[in-house]
Amino acid sequence: MSRSTIAPARISRVLPDSIAAELGFEVGDRLVSVNGQELRDLIDYQFAIADEYLELEVLDAKGDRHRVELEKDWDDDLGLEFETALFDGLIQCNNACPFCFIDQQPPEMRATLHLKDDDYRLSFLYGSYLTLTNLPQPEWERIARLRLSPLYVSVHATEPDLRARLLKNPRAAQILEQLEWFRQQQLQIHAQVVLCPGWNDGEHLTRTLLDLASFHRAIPAERVEAINKFSADEFSADVPTVLSAAVVPVGLTRFRPSEDEISPVSRDRAIAVIARVEALQAQFRAELGTTFAWLADEWYLIAGRDLPPPEHYEDYPQIGNGVGSIRQFLQDFESAAAQLPDRLPQPLQVTWVVGNSVERVFEPIAARFNQVENLDFRMLAIASQFWGQELTVTGLLTGGDILSALRDIPGGCGDVLLLPSVTLKNSQTFLDDLALEDLAQQLQVEIVTVGGGVRDLADAISNLRTGLPAGAIVRSSK
């Protein structure tokens, strides 16, 4: 693993009325050190400022060096935000997984979209998944010393040879030893399995989930006694190592390498996977008191099956992996819908863009909006031609996909286009680099971007009672 030199952390925002604002920090200033310590990342920064006396070394926008001394309560934040959480560079992936989504992007996509993140720090800070195949001993020691837990680990398979073949990396075979290390350190992880038909499904999937569940169970008392005999710290048998597991279907695009041996998940395959995992879930509930292993929502969408009820997901430990996110959205909508107006002051036609994977489950939402008098609410469910997917999640829709679909609609998309902000890679640009302003110009429509929460959607409709909400609109030349 290569590592770049630690660079001063460039400040991207100074929070109003914060300690940093009072001291005169500005956007563009660079933080060199805290109490003489150079900072590798946001984790170092958070630990370093948890002190009452701080001496900061700072470079201003002109390159002039300053020393700032201050006293504060140990838990007071300085009010600084940085351009990146990693000041010494990204730890990149050294695997060659045939199902890697980054390798399934067109080569003309900008270089930053081809960076393979496999960084334990982003896993700890933001819940991104890593494989543990690229960590030298000092990094393992840092994880233990700083108690960086939980981490989010892409396991895929626990059989050593199978995991090594899946990741095309011999170090991937060490996964069971690594899980044991987490148990010995009393650190925790959430696990995921990206299921590739013909590779890690069937009995391989059963083996993987049973192995992961064994790291959720309390270990035998005699082992605890043996560990405590040689450990300076008291070891608890009750701390689960693997907190949860998610099973996610592989996502494939038309840009995947021609030699790729991975096949997409069919409806019949999805039905078989659901049946297998549901049997294991019943076993886990009986033995562990928790469902433990959950299926991503996509399995039910592919299979044409109803989603499980809200209580199935317990406290939604894998919602970031698309496990229960649709059910939670539907449940939240029931309360948010109560805040909708009975009528709009004048007729308005609204088109809401979503990926076609959620078309069936979101039909009740469209029906409820159409109960508002004077509101003609249309849900447009789109499959991505850009990625070549029959079923597409909303976050992968490109500007070109939306433009093509809306051009084919008789009468256009009405007065307002509601666009989920998850389709944008930044506030103004789609994944295919089409600008939001260009889409508005070509469609000759007002666009309102809405957040991912159901309340955001309901609020957008409610705000239309008094006209289009300012600040969230891209205005066309209409």
Tell whether the torsion through CA atoms of 115, 34, 74 and 19 is positive or negative: negative
Q: Cα separation of 2 and 36, whole Å?
A: 25
**pLDDT value, residue 458:** 78
Give the CA angle between residues 154, 160, 163 to the nearest 5°.
40
* CATH topology identical between 9-82 and 330-474: no
pTM (predicted TM-score)? 0.86
Does residue 150 have a cis peptide bond before it, meaning omega lies within 30 degrees of 0?
Answer: yes
Phi, psi of 449 (to 5 degrees): -85, 140
**pLDDT value, residue 160:** 98
User: Could you tell me which residues come within 8 angstroms of residue 228 by beta carbon, excluding any fewer than 6 positions away?
Assistant: 234, 235
Whose CA is closest to 325, among 347, 357, 350, 348? Answer: 357
Q: Hey, where are the domains in the chain?
A: 9-82, 102-323, 330-474
**pLDDT value, residue 117:** 86
Helices and strands, number each (H, E), in the chain: 15, 17
**pLDDT value, residue 221:** 55
**pLDDT value, residue 478:** 34
Strand ranges inside 178-306, DSSP E:
189-195, 242-249, 293-295
In what helix (H) or strand (E) does residue 139 lie, and over which residues does it extend? helix 137-146
Residue-wise burial string across 100-128, b where 16 or more C-beta atoms lie within 10 A, e elsewhere: bbebbbeeeeeeeeeebbbbbbbbbbeeb
Q: Cα separation of 237 and 233, whole Å?
A: 13
Is 259 buried (19+), middle (13-18) or exposed (0-12) by CB count in 10 A?
exposed
**In Å, how far are 79, 104, 220, 345 from 356, measured between CA atoms?**
41, 20, 48, 31
**pLDDT value, residue 220:** 57
Whose CA is closest to 294, among 192, 210, 392, 150? Answer: 192
Which tokens belong to 20? 């940093």
Q: Any idea which fold 330-474 has?
A: Rossmann fold (3.40.50)
In sequence order, the β-bridge partners of residue 58 are: 31, 66
Q: Any idea which fold 9-82 has?
A: Pdz3 Domain (2.30.42)
On whether the CB atoms of residues 400 and 436 are closer than 8 A, the answer is no
**In Å, how far are 114, 117, 254, 311 from 101, measured between CA atoms?**
9, 12, 11, 32
Kindly report, residue by residue over 273-311, the tens digit of the pLDDT. Answer: 999 999 999 999 999 999 999 999 999 999 999 999 999
**pLDDT value, residue 231:** 54
DSSP string, 266-284: PHHHHHHHHHHHHHHHHHH
**pLDDT value, residue 230:** 52
Kindly report, residue by residue over 345-388, the tens digit of the pLDDT. Answer: 889 899 999 999 999 999 999 999 999 999 999 999 999 998 88
In what helix (H) or strand (E) does residue 403 lie, and over which residues does it extend? helix 399-407
**pLDDT value, residue 444:** 85
Written as one letter, the residue type at 396 is L
Residues in the chain with pLDDT values less than 70: 1-4, 107-115, 219-237, 257-260, 411, 464-478
Q: Cα separation of 443 and 384, whole Å?
A: 18
Q: Cα separation of 81 and 88, whole Å?
A: 16
